[in-house]
């Protein structure tokens, strides 16, 4: 006899079983999602509408903003809908789209259901180039930047440069550090609450911070935003 059962839905355990906490989390995550999407959309709009910003650096900033919108929308919208409707399931097709206990359908949640040591090893092997290599390259790229900043004679100039680079490094470490903690820890070291907190950080908090760290602190972009706001106020 063979088992031909076909799984069409997965059950999500969510972040909390307390109704009051669920309402608070819904409000928090909805606010973070809307702030992140609005900031990213404004960044894309400003770069597209201003010819002076049509350069490689701003192309990559707009690309980052678009990726952050897509990255968060694949999971947060479904999570918010589940909170509103009281549902705790996700279809198999949506689960596959989200790969990227559990408030969204994550790979670790699926492979922890049985003894899948080979698959876990495959995740480590394939995840290394995708996660570790970019992280190491980003960190290495800041070495010449730090050396150049150290050569600046003005103490005020050094502080301004280090504050800018420091915020960039913080959000990079937040994003990659939490992902590495979730996917590259030994199975025995996994803790449900810690994994949830780390997932919230790289899935919700980091994408929301990106436009503020990389775009809204940029002098050229702030000038464009100021002009857009002034033009909008004049129309009204």
Rounded Cα distance, 229 and 233, in Å: 6
Burial class (CB in 10 A: 0-12, 13-18, 19+), 151: exposed
Question: For the segment 68-104, what is each residue's pLDDT rounded down to a tens digit?
Answer: 998 888 888 888 887 777 777 777 777 666 656 444 5
Q: Is residue 4 part of a domain?
A: no
Largest pairwise CA distance in the chain: 78
Q: Is residue 168 part of a domain?
A: yes
Q: Is residue 235 part of a domain?
A: no
Question: For the segment 25-39, what is each residue's pLDDT rounded down to a tens digit?
Answer: 888 889 999 999 998
Supply the range of the domain harboring residue 126.
9-230
Percentage with pLDDT > 90 across the chain: 3
Terminal C-alpha separation, the chain: 73
Q: Is residue 14 part of a domain?
A: yes
Residues pairing with 9 in the sheet: 91
In this predicted structure, what is the pLDDT of residue 31? 92
- pLDDT greater than 70 at residue 45: yes
Q: Is residue 1 part of a domain?
A: no
Average pLDDT over residues 187-210: 78
Question: For the segment 136-189, what is each residue's pLDDT rounded down to a tens digit?
Answer: 888 888 888 888 888 877 878 788 778 778 888 888 888 888 888 877 776 665
Secondary structure class of 173 (helix, strand, coil): helix
Q: Is residue 2 part of a domain?
A: no
Burial class (CB in 10 A: 0-12, 13-18, 19+), 52: exposed
Q: Is residue 66 part of a domain?
A: yes
In this predicted structure, what is the pLDDT of residue 116? 61
Secondary structure class of 45 (helix, strand, coil): helix
Task: Check: CB of residue 21 under 8 Å from CB of residue 113.
Answer: no
Q: Is residue 52 part of a domain?
A: yes
> pTM for the full model?
0.73
Which of 33, 31, 58 has the alpha carbon at shortest distance from 43? Answer: 58
Count of domains observed in the chain = 1
Write down the number of H helices and E strands in the chain: 10, 2
- Using 50, 70 and 90 to split pLDDT, how confident is the model at 1? low
In this predicted structure, what is the pLDDT of residue 101? 44
CATH number of the structural domain spanning residue 213: 1.20.1070.10
């Amino acid at each position: 006899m063979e088992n031909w059962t076909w799984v069409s839905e997965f059950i999500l355990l969510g972040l909390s079983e307390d109704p009051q906490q669920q309402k608070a989390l819904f409000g928090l995550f909805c606010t973070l999602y809307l702030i992140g999407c609005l900031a990213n959309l404004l960044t894309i709009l400003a770069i597209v509408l201003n010819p002076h910003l049509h350069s490689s650096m701003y192309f990559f900033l707009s690309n980052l903003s678009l990726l952050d919108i897509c990255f968060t929308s694949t999971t947060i919208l479904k999570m918010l809908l589940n909170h509103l409707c009281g549902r705790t399931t996700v279809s198999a097709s949506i689960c596959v789209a989200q790969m990227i206990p559990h408030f969204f359908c994550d790979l670790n949640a699926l492979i922890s259901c049985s003894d899948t040591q080979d698959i876990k090893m495959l995740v480590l092997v394939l995840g290394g180039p995708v996660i570790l290599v970019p992280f190491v390259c980003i960190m290495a790229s800041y070495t010449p930047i730090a050396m150049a900043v150290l050569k600046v004679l003005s103490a005020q100039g050094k502080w301004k440069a280090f504050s800018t680079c420091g915020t960039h490094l913080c959000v990079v470490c937040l994003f990659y550090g939490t992902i590495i903690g979730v996917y590259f820890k030994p199975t025995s070291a996994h803790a449900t609450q810690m994994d949830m907190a780390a997932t919230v950080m790289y899935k919700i908090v980091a994408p929301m911070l990106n436009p503020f760290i990389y775009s809204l602190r940029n002098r050229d972009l702030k000038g464009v935003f100021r002009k857009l706001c002034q033009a909008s106020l004049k129309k009204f």
